[in-house]
Amino acid sequence: MADSTDGQTAAAVAFLLAQLGEHAAAKFAERIESLELTPAHAGVLRLVSVRPGCSQQVLAGALGALPSKVVALVDELQRRGLVERRRNPADRRLHALHLTDEGEEMLRRVRSAAETHGAELTRALDPEQRGHLADLLGRIAADQGLQPGVHPGYQRLRR
């Protein structure tokens, strides 16, 4: 069944993914604007929560962002009391990153916003269809070698 119709379907799927991906990212950014966070900020909070004590280099690698960008992001989040930089006594070059209690609270709000965002985005589907869609997208993501939960493209790499 790898006929011309299927080829067009595949192309249409790719187009829809690009279109919806842009839409989803823009809507999410809009939604966390009220928290005065950008998607990049949210990515930092999430990753520091998952890997407490990680260095800024590790963070840059996982986010796909430049170290210099990470400095600015962490500066901002630290200034607002959401993350802490702790010197590592064993290697004083490293900054171990941790969420403060306020940071944890903010992350809960981000997660809540993400759920509302997801519900709004997929409101045209019933729960069964939503589950099916998650499955199909997960298969593609795994096949394409995308890291689960890591950097949706907040980074502008461009090589």
Partner DNA sequence: TATTGTTATACTCTATAACTATA
Partner DNA sequence: TATAGTTATAGAGTATAACAATA
From the list 3-11, 50-58, 66-74, 83-91, the region that binds a second copy by CB under 8 A is 3-11
What percent of the residues of the chain are helix, what percent strand, and what percent coil, each to the nearest 5?
65, 5, 30
93 binds, among a second copy, DNA, none (CB under 5 to 8 A by kind): DNA
Rule CB under 8 A: is residue 88 a binding residue for a second copy?
Answer: no
Contacting DNA within 44-63 (CB under 7 A) = 55-57
Angle at 21 between CA 82 and CA 64, to 5 degrees: 50
Q: What are phi and psi of 99, to 5 degrees?
A: -80, 140
CA atoms lying within 13 Å on the CB side of residue 15: 6
CB nearer to DNA: pick between 10 and 72:
72
Site residues (vs DNA, CB under 7 A): 55-57, 65-69, 71-72, 74-75, 85, 90-95, 155-158
